[in-house]
Amino acid sequence: MIVTLRVGLLLLLLSVPALAQRTQQRPPIIDVHFHAHRADRFGKAGIPNPVTGKPSAATTDEALLQAALVAMRRYNIVKAFASSHLDSVERWRAAAPALIIGGAQIDRGIPTPDVSRLRQDFRSGRLGFLGEVGAQYLGFAPTDATLEPYFALAEELDVPVAIHTGISAPNTPYECCPNFRTSLGDPRLLEEVLIRHPKLRVNLMHAGYPYLQNTIAIMSVYPQVYADLGAIDWLIPREEFHSYLRALVRAGFGKRIMFGSDQMIWPEAIGMAIEGVESAKFLTRAQKRDIFYNNAVRFFRLDKR
């Protein structure tokens, strides 16, 4: 009996390091499209996940923050570019300063940030990017004069910009944003901004979905434009997402596509988004590493940090 117990204990001790090693072997991920929202960002807490239909278990601000941090650590997310109300972003950044890089969001329901304050925040490193720029929700195109001071500042300070492109949830103009128009999500509308600001680094959030050909056109001509897969990697049907992603890769943009979860108030979306990319069998292991990590390092110049 004693011998059996000793052998069993030895096997257990040997298995613990092996298990830890397997856990640590998950490669690092950078989430370039993330939100540090309050739990009531969409009017109330506990709104159902649009895919699972289950209410968000995180019904308080602190519960949402902690649940998101647990998910990020589980999947070895080493950096998350998070935007929302500036005070909420700061709270998340204070909770995980090595993990969270804050962004200045311009969107409905969020106070428009002051340009002079942004200048200070970018220079001090308190914020690391401009976005999410949700001009579409406010009813104007990227070329609107309202955004020009922000784009000029971002170019001057070499701060990357992440802008919402594509579509949104069903009934958005009726239930949320009366000025929202699908036509304002067309990536081609960014062209004049890129002409005026040739040094501006731009991330097309949601990869311009479903404007595939116009996304390809913009990315073909302007190499400073990258695209993230936020939301489309878990919200739209998997076959449709894979078809869109495959088209972008076949068009030659495998080195400029970045992973994003678009985690809003559903921390489980992080794992769902990762699985959406991992399940793309047409991608090589190297291409997945580019999407999950290498391309974001290049776009955000994290090696210089």
Q: Is the pLDDT of residue 14 over 60?
A: no
Q: What is the pLDDT of residue 24?
A: 57
**Region 2-21: what's the mean pLDDT?**
40
Nearest to 122 by CA among 166, 151, 73, 159: 159
How far, in whole angstroms, is CA 209 from its chain's centroid? 14
Q: How far is CA 26 from CA 23, 113, 154, 271, 275, in A?
A: 6, 37, 34, 13, 13
Task: Say what the pLDDT of residue 13 is.
Answer: 40
Q: How far apart are the first and last CA of the chain?
A: 57
Residue 115 DSSP SS3: helix
Give the pair of three-digit tokens for residue 165: 């492109």
* 268-278 and 61-74 helices, crossing angle to 10°: 30
Whether residue 43 is predicted with pLDDT greater than 90 in this model: the reply is no
Question: What pLDDT is stored for residue 138 in this prediction?
Answer: 97
Q: Per-residue confidence at 44, pLDDT binned at 50, 70, 90?
A: confident
**What per-residue confidence (pLDDT) applies to 305?**
54
User: Where do the structural domains in the chain lie, given as residue ranges?
Assistant: 28-300
Query: What pLDDT digit, counting tens, does each position of 197-255 carry?
Result: 999 999 999 999 999 999 999 999 999 999 999 999 999 999 999 999 999 999 999 99
Whether the pLDDT of residue 42 is over 70: the answer is yes
Average pLDDT value for the chain: 92
Report yes or no on whether pTM surpasses 0.85.
yes
Fold that domain 28-300 belongs to in CATH: TIM Barrel (3.20.20)
Q: 């990319």: which residue's tokens?
A: 277
Q: Which amino acid is at 2?
A: I
What is the structure's pLDDT at 304?
Answer: 63
Percent of the chain with pLDDT over 70: 91
Q: What is the pLDDT of residues 273-301, one digit of tens each?
A: 999 999 999 999 999 999 999 999 999 99
Which among 150, 57, 68, 170 has a CA at the least distance from the CA of 107? 150
**pLDDT 10s digits, 159-192:** 999 999 999 999 999 999 999 999 999 999 999 9
Integer Cα distance of 282 and 195 in angstroms: 35
pLDDT tens-place string over residues 110-127: 999 999 999 999 999 999
Among 3-12, 24-33, 93-102, 165-174, which is the least confidently predicted range?
3-12
